[in-house]
Structure 1
Amino acid sequence: MKLSTLGRHGKESFKNLARNGWMTFASISAVTVTLLLVGVFVVIMLNLNEFSKSLEEDVEVSVFIALDTEQTEIDNLQQTIERLSGVKSVEFSSKAEQLEQYSNSLGADGDVLFELFEQDNPLYDVLVVKAEDPQNTQAVANRISELDYVQEARYGDEKVERLFSVINTSRNVGIVLIVGLLFTAMFLISNTIKITIIARSQEIEIMRLVGATNTFIRWPFFLEGLLLGFLGSLVPILSIVLGYDALYNWLSPRIQGGFIELLPVSPFLIQVSLLLASLGAIIGVWGSVMSIRKFLKV
């Protein structure tokens, strides 16, 4: 298609949007409301996903080594675990380090405990193991527990399984909600544009009678849908950018150092803005294409 023809279609699209003011407003409003909901859910889900990842990364297997195990045997056990499939990392923590950590967690009372057991330490040497995929922690722990010199492989099975269950459920629910909202947006914009096209059916028929091709007729509506979707995404983008920036600046100092952190403003908001603009354009184009298709059937 020539640039001059494309330019003509573009001008015609802007004229049609202005000529059908109320229908244009209705279409943009439908996209705006739906994309605003989608944007809010996307922001929430991405932050929850990041929070879930940080929780998953903290899941580890504590491998308690049998008492009186020689250091050479411990080193061999560590190398064996490192070679297991699905194991990401293995770190050794001696029983002296375990006692120090435990006494530190007790505060002032811990000093007395440390002095009491420093010479005759009853704790185990421990290998701290992390799985490549935290969801496979149980399988990794089961394999390790069968190895020689392993007293116990502990990972908090019930709590970890509940954690993964909640994480997977929240992710699935979020995906279903977002997909449902997108289909709702497509349905609304398709029907809104369809009403506009029905009102201009006579115009389409005249264009066909004078020899206009389906492609020539379709292009202005294609561009109109693109513009409607893009314009409908501007308010959601602006609202989410300003809202998230204000929330981040207010909440970050209050949760600093905690186990919950928000995704940083940049490049997160840029990515969300591009996503919403793309979704708006796709929804608008899809709605236009679906609506005009039946009018172009021979």
Structure 2
Amino acid sequence: MKARTIRRHMKESLRNLARNGWMTFASISAVTVTLLLVGVFFVIMMNLNKVATDIEEDVSIRVHIDIAATKEDQDALKGQIEKLPEVESVVFSAKEEELDNLISSLGEEGEAFKLFEQDNPLYDVYVVKTKKPEQLETAAKKIEEFDFTSKVRYGQDDVEKLFSFIKTSRNVGLVLIIGLLFTAMFLISNTIKITIVARRKEIEIMRLVGATNSFIRWPFFLEGLMLGVLGSIIPITIISLIYSYSYDYISSKLQGHFIHLLEFNPFMFQVGGLLVLIGAFIGIWGSVMSVRKFLKI
């Protein structure tokens, strides 16, 4: 297609959008409201997924080493653990470090445990990370059988409930996002169809004077694209402002914790780009399908 023809279609599309002001406003409003819902829900689900991932990555196996084990025995036990196919890393934590962590985690109540610094009753520990969170139980059962393993702790009941909740949340979130996208496509495309139906006579006149199908479709194609892009601007702006404030507020509350929200940059730019693409796709799809099928051009 020649550049002159493209410019002509662009001018015609802009002229039609201005000429059909109320229908243009209705279409952009439909895109705006729907993409706002999609964007908000997407931001929430992606951050919930990030929190779930952080929790999964923080889960580990704590292997209490037998008090009677010598340095050679501890090294042998570490070698056995590292050879397990499920294991990603093994980190040694001396009983002195374990006591310090216990005291600091309890705050003022932990001061009483300083009495045990001279006669520490805790165990040396190996902190074991698995390659996949779901492999915790399998690895823990194998480690329990090794010599010089006193106890193995990984919060069995809590971990199983956590993984079940995370899996369910992700599946539900995915279904809801897909459902919301299909709802958005239905609402927006139907609004655009109404716009095109209102211009049926205009299309019929173009056909009578010999305009080809592609010549008629192009202005509607570009109008759908513009409606989708224009309708995505407000949702992107609102979501960005709300997320910027929420990120600063929640991050200040989560300082010192292993859980973090997705950083504003690049996350919001990715969300913005996604909403523009969704808006443009739905606008184009609604226009093309309406012209091709509804008006049977």
Deviations along 1:80-118, whole A, 9 cap, x unmatched?
222322322101123343344445555321121222x24
Three-state SS of the structure 2 residue aligned to 1:195 is helix
| Cα deviation, residue 128, structure 1 | 0.7
Contact 1:103 1:114 in 2 (8 A): no
Identical-residue share of aligned pairs (%): 59
Three-state SS of the structure 1 residue aligned to 2:63 is strand
Alignment correspondent of 1:196: 195
- The answer as to 2:228 corresponding to 1:225 is no
Residue 77 of structure 1 aligns with an amino acid whose one-letter code is L
Residue 88 of structure 1 aligns with an amino acid whose one-letter code is E
Deviations along 1:232-266, whole A, 9 cap, x unmatched?
11110111111222223344334433454333322
Three-state SS of the structure 2 residue aligned to 1:90 is strand
TM-score by length of 2: 0.90
Alignment correspondent of 1:51: 51
- The answer as to 2:107 corresponding to 1:108 is no
Residue 146 of structure 1 aligns with an amino acid whose one-letter code is E
In 2, Cα distance between equivalents of 1:148 and 1:212: 85
Residue 38 of structure 1 aligns with an amino acid whose one-letter code is V
In 1, Cα distance between equivalents of 2:100 and 2:142: 29
| Cα deviation, residue 279, structure 1 | 1.2
| Cα deviation, residue 296, structure 1 | 6.4
Alignment correspondent of 2:274: 275
Structure 1 unaligned segments of length 5 or more: list them.
none
Contact 1:103 1:113 in 2 (8 A): no
Change (3 A) 1:247 1:94: closer
Moved more, 288-297 or 192-201: 288-297
Residue 271 of structure 2 aligns with an amino acid whose one-letter code is V
Superposition map of 1:211-250 within 5 A: 211-250=210-249
Deviations along 1:192-219, whole A, 9 cap, x unmatched?
1111222222332333344433222221
In 2, Cα distance between equivalents of 1:177 and 1:266: 25
Structure 2 unaligned segments of length 5 or more: list them.
none
- The answer as to 2:91 corresponding to 1:91 is yes
Moved more, 69-78 or 57-66: 69-78
Aligned length: 294
Residue 93 of structure 1 aligns with an amino acid whose one-letter code is S
| Cα deviation, residue 282, structure 1 | 1.2
* Alignment RMSD (CA, Å): 2.2
Alignment correspondent of 1:285: 284
Alignment correspondent of 2:180: 181
Contact 1:214 1:296 in 2 (8 A): no
TM-score by length of 1: 0.89
Change (3 A) 1:94 1:246: closer
Residue 17 of structure 2 aligns with an amino acid whose one-letter code is L
Contact 1:138 1:157 in 2 (8 A): yes
In 1, Cα distance between equivalents of 2:124 and 2:249: 44
Contact 1:45 1:174 in 2 (8 A): yes
Change (3 A) 1:72 1:52: same
| Cα deviation, residue 139, structure 1 | 2.2
Residue 54 of structure 2 aligns with an amino acid whose one-letter code is S
Runs of 4+ in 1 over 6 A off after TM superposition: none
